Amino acid sequence: MNFPEAFTQQIKTRLGDQYQAFIDSLQTESPTSIRLNPFKKSSTPTGEAIPWHSEGYYLSERPVFTLDPAFHAGAYYVQEASSMFVAEAVKQTVNLSKPLKVLDLCAAPGGKTTLLASLLNQNSLLVANEVIKSRVGILKENLEKWGFSNYIVANHDPEEMVELEGFFDVVLVDAPCSGEGLFRKDPKAMNEWSENSVNICSARQKRILQAAAMLVAPKGILIYSTCTYNEKENQQNTQWLTQVADFEEIKLNIPSDWNIDDSRNGYQFFPHRVKGEGFFLSVFKKKFGDDNYIQAKVKLNRLRNRETALLEPFIENIEDFDFFLKPDSSIVAIPNELAAEYGTVMRALDRRSSGIEIGTIKGTDFVPTHALALSSIIKKDLPAIELLKEDALKFLKRENFEADLAQSGWVLVRYEGLNLGWIKVIGDRINNYLPKEWRIRMDIE
């Protein structure tokens, strides 16, 4: 690799006699790692454990994930190992037994969002925001696969969220950056790097941090992370935050054998010291502030009782939810304990989802969504068929597969006990309800 001269000088100054070990590490293959979904147990092969995350594992080789039905079911997420450290930061600084309001401010494609979802209890609300509209679709898809149902997906610039000042107990800012930590994994990042891009990123990150700081509740937690090494985007920005806002840095308890550098105002991952890519993280606590938001009731059309009765065969613990009809006739499920919190977010943001969409009603029939099939709120004893891998892949390609079906109507398709989606059996015909945009497009031998 031919690294930019300004970058190598920066790293030499930073690392001194460790510089060559750092450069040598970037000539090696990037490790492949996955994080298991704690709510969807599977027989997914794992390997060496990642020290800072109990459900993270390195794989000895990179398989074709597209050809693993468990991947489509949300049994695991393919995530870079260093970035899983966010979970450890949350565990050490947040009381996860409490109902929490959590915001992932720069969320797409959803790796850290699903990580947060794994930590939260069922009485917590997770808002996943992505400013780039074209990236919202993959964010929503990954959240649907993961199965955590208490989420809202939003598409706003952070500065447009001012009505939610002081609302969130935890805000994660995984900021857009110059990508120095991805040079090994993505050579394109190296080709696009320049000193000017670092300056642009640093300024953008300050703007995002300033907006994020307002959204944190008093005594709440702000987590800032990047996938870069330079101090302009990392240490200088975190120091700036404590100077312009009422935040204090929180130090974490990190075992020395994890080989994470405890740098000024944060923690740095270097690929010659850890088995992972470059990553930086800082944690802050808000010292003061006011709860300036006003809780609002959800302003949607509540489903009538006779329509709600059609949902009972599909929803576990249906009494825990309120159901509302959107203008496009789709039905959303909102935990009744979180109605005020949902209402507050929905009043403040206009470009967002309204909760998990579970289906539509056509005449006297309920038509369930794919999101419901993969969610944690689905009824556990619904009619289902278990497919072996070959037929599961055919289902995921929306091709015909062999199935001996005694029942008719809506049937869940499963692989190793994991829900993959819906079919509807009508006589001797099987209709595949996997969303067309989710189907496997590659050839399968």
pLDDT at 289 over 80: no
pLDDT for 403: 81
Quickly list DSSP for 164-217. Answer: GTT-EEEEEEE-----GGGTTT-HHHHHT--HHHHHHHHHHHHHHHHHHHHHEE
Residue 316 tokens read as 């576990």
pLDDT band at 33 (very low <50, low <70, confident <90, very high): very high
pLDDT at 294 over 80: no
Whether residues 234 and 141 fall in one domain? yes
Whether the pTM exceeds 0.85: the reply is: yes
Beta-sheet strands, E only, within 266-415 = 266-269, 279-286, 301-302, 321-325, 330-335, 356-362, 365-368, 384-386, 409-415
Residue 298: per-residue pLDDT? 52
Q: Are residues 256 and 398 in the same domain?
A: no
Does 310 lie in the same domain as 199?
no
Q: What is the CATH number of the domain that holds 171?
A: 3.40.50.150
Residue 407 has pLDDT above 90, yes or no: no
Average pLDDT for the chain: 94
- What percent of the chain clears pLDDT 90, i.e. is strictly above it? 87
Q: Do residue 144 and residue 247 come from a single domain? A: yes
Contact 372, 378 (CB under 8 A): yes
Residue 368, domain extent: 294-380
Higher-scoring residue by pLDDT: 186, 156: 156
pLDDT at 106 over 60: yes
Do 186 and 281 lie in one domain? The reply is yes
Residue 4 lies in a domain: no
Residue 299 has pLDDT above 70, yes or no: no
Cβ atoms within 10 Å of 291's Cβ, excluding its own = 11
Domains contained in the chain, number: 3
CATH number, position 444: 2.30.130.60
Q: What is the pLDDT of residue 15?
A: 96
- Do residues 221 and 191 share a domain? yes
Q: What is the mean pLDDT of residues 149-177?
A: 97
Percentage of residues in the chain having pLDDT higher than 70: 97
Whether the pLDDT of residue 189 is over 90: the answer is: no
Tell which wins on pLDDT, 420 or 43: 420
Task: Answer whether residue 367 is part of any domain.
Answer: yes
Mean pLDDT computed over 29-52: 95
Same domain, yes or no: 217 and 304? no
Q: What is the average pLDDT across 204-224?
A: 97
pLDDT at 251 over 90: yes
The residue among 380, 409, 432 that closes a domain is 380
Residue 274 and residue 182 in one domain: yes
pLDDT digits (tens, 9 = 90+) for 306-356: 999 999 999 999 999 999 999 889 999 999 999 999 999 999 999 999 989
